[in-house]
Structure 1
Amino acid sequence: MPSSRLVTVLGTVVRREREARQLTQRELARLAGVSQAMVARVESGDRSPSVELLEQLLDAMGAQLTVAVEPLDADLDARIGALAGQPLADRIDQAGIDAVVARLGDLPHVLAGGSAALLQGAPVPVTEVEIAIRWADSARFTQWLTDGYAQRWNAQWREFGYLRLEPEEPGEHLWRTVAGDVRARMCDELPEAIEVRHGERSYRVVPLVAVEITDPRAADLLRRHRQRQAGGERSS
């Protein structure tokens, strides 16, 4: 694994552990006896942390560092495999899609990216609900975010908060709301959509073929899933 990749992975681990404990970067820095800027640089991957610093940060959160060797992206393949073995209803529930869709109400939107792929049966990991929103509905969307006590993803500090909510403001279109994390694709017109139904709810989604064309990350996940399927068929 290249060092730059390892640095990114380690930063992600520290951020994930911190957020799981509902700590801010400032609080973790105080517990670990380091500066907030140090925590921010580690989480963003801007600094290659020493083993001592990693142990210091993790120890402050009641965790410890372990080392293992595995094939590249083995964890991602394992997640895809685990999802493939689950009922679709369980995957939808775990992704938190229904909670977001219910709160969106009559705000015009189309589910996109990995969320759209999941709703069409693909066992892809979904870390945030992805939606397409028209710029014409930006004010309504901003009010929806406000009503949902949203915090915007701050790429500089690698955490949610400290930025204005409006999509027009600079920053990544990713928010944490009471319904879950939401990533928006702001567009002049909503993309062409199809309707899929699961249980008692209908969803307007970007067709799978369009997802693969427009979303490189979702396309890569789908490719990995198909490779796993092909490998399983060859071994059977």
Structure 2
Amino acid sequence: MDEDGYGLATAIAPLLRAEREKAALTQAQLARRAATTQQHVSMIESGHVAPTIALLDRLFDALGLQLRVSVEQRDADLDAGMDAASDDTREDDLCTANSLTKRLDADVPFLLDGQLAAAMMGVPIKVRRTDLAFAEADADKVAHWLAGLPNVRRWSDKWQDFAPIDRDPRKPGPPHYWTPWGELHVRLLPAAPPPVRVVVAERSYPIRPLSDVEADYPQIARIIRRARHRT
């Protein structure tokens, strides 16, 4: 699974969706032809999953097509997404984060992390999920919070899909969840760093420092590097 949903997964997403619609097939119909699930096709088309080469071959073969590969300047694939993201507002993304964290015990500190943290600090990035970081000392409370969220599934590498499996982020497997409010990724840190505070609509949000985000999220680091190069 692509940790941040960028790179090839981002390029494949609109291509697969456009070709499927051109063939007048629903996601479920294409999934049956390619021996996968409708939800998996949906996740690929939204850029949230980096499919295997074998699955890509099956999906496009089911459309009577095949993929060709070319090369370009490093990070140039990010430009269109960065240009589109530069006009994004954060209201919907913060609303999702608020909906999730209001169910968290008030005594459990958290940091906005990953894509949303980068976007809040001016990086031109599409926010495709909510990333939250916690201190390992609060892991029990975080596990309790996740267990109490309704209708949540966790990503399974075995099934290559979200499934009703143990939500405890300390258990084996990606701490990546599908919730009624959108996708959620949880990171447990040995110790939470002092937050950067960003105020939006008179509300202060605790943000993980950008240098930490850049170090832990390679695809976000690519976007930051490209943004610096372009400026």
TM-score by length of 1: 0.68
Give the Å deviation of 1:67.
7.3
Q: Which residue of 1 aligns with 2:218?
A: 216
With over 3 angstroms needed to count, the CA separation of the structure-2 counterparts of 1:108 and 1:53, relative to structure 1, is: closer
Structure 1 residues 104-130: Cα deviation after superposition (integer angstroms, max 9, x where no partner): 122421112222111112212222221
Q: Which residue of 1 aligns with 2:5?
A: none
Q: Which residue of 1 aligns with 2:172?
A: 170
Structure 1 residues 172-205: Cα deviation after superposition (integer angstroms, max 9, x where no partner): 1111111221111112322221211011321101
CA distance in 2, matches of 1:215, 1:49: 25
Q: Which residue of 2 aligns with 1:99?
A: 96
Q: Indicate conservation of the 8 Å contact 1:174/1:183, yes or no.
A: yes
CA distance in 2, matches of 1:126, 1:184: 15
Q: Which residue of 2 aligns with 1:133?
A: 134
**Would you say 1:115 and 2:116 are equivalent positions?**
yes
Q: Indicate conservation of the 8 Å contact 2:96/2:130, yes or no.
A: no
Q: Which residue of 2 aligns with 1:54?
A: 60
Q: Find runs of 4+ consecutive structure 1 residues off by over 6 angstroms.
A: 64-70
Q: 2:100 corresponds to which letter in structure 1?
A: R
Secondary structure of the residue aligned to 2:132 is: strand
Give the Å deviation of 1:168.
1.9
Structure 1 unmatched ranges of 5 or more: 1-7, 230-236
Let me know the Cα RMSD of the aligned residues. 3.8
CA distance in 1, matches of 2:115, 2:10: 24
Give the Å deviation of 1:44.
3.8
Structure 1 residues 105-156: Cα deviation after superposition (integer angstroms, max 9, x where no partner): 2242111222211111221222222111123333332333232421111223
CA distance in 1, matches of 2:163, 2:131: 19
Give the Å deviation of 1:222.
0.7
Q: 2:219 corresponds to which letter in structure 1?
A: R
Structure 2 unmatched ranges of 5 or more: 1-7, 21-25, 45-49
Q: Indicate conservation of the 8 Å contact 1:11/1:44, yes or no.
A: no
CA distance in 2, matches of 1:154, 1:12: 22
Structure 1 residues 200-223: Cα deviation after superposition (integer angstroms, max 9, x where no partner): 321101222333344333222111
Q: Indicate conservation of the 8 Å contact 1:194/1:207, yes or no.
A: yes
Q: Indicate conservation of the 8 Å contact 1:100/1:180, yes or no.
A: no
Q: Indicate conservation of the 8 Å contact 1:44/1:157, yes or no.
A: no
CA distance in 2, matches of 1:12, 1:223: 22
The correspondence of residues 30-49 of structure 1 with structure 2, limited to 5 A, is: 31-32=32-33, 35-36=35-36, 44-45=51-52, 47=54
TM-score by length of 2: 0.69
**Would you say 1:82 and 2:84 are equivalent positions?**
yes
Q: 2:195 corresponds to which letter in structure 1?
A: A
Greater helix percent: which structure?
A: 1
Q: Indicate conservation of the 8 Å contact 1:128/1:182, yes or no.
A: yes
Q: Which residue of 1 aligns with 2:23?
A: none
What is the aligned counterpart of 1:204 among 203, 206, 224?
206
Structure 1 residues 18-72: Cα deviation after superposition (integer angstroms, max 9, x where no partner): 9xx775xxx854x32x5449x98x974152754x75242x58xxxx889797846
CA distance in 2, matches of 1:48, 1:36: 8
Secondary structure of the residue aligned to 2:82 is: helix
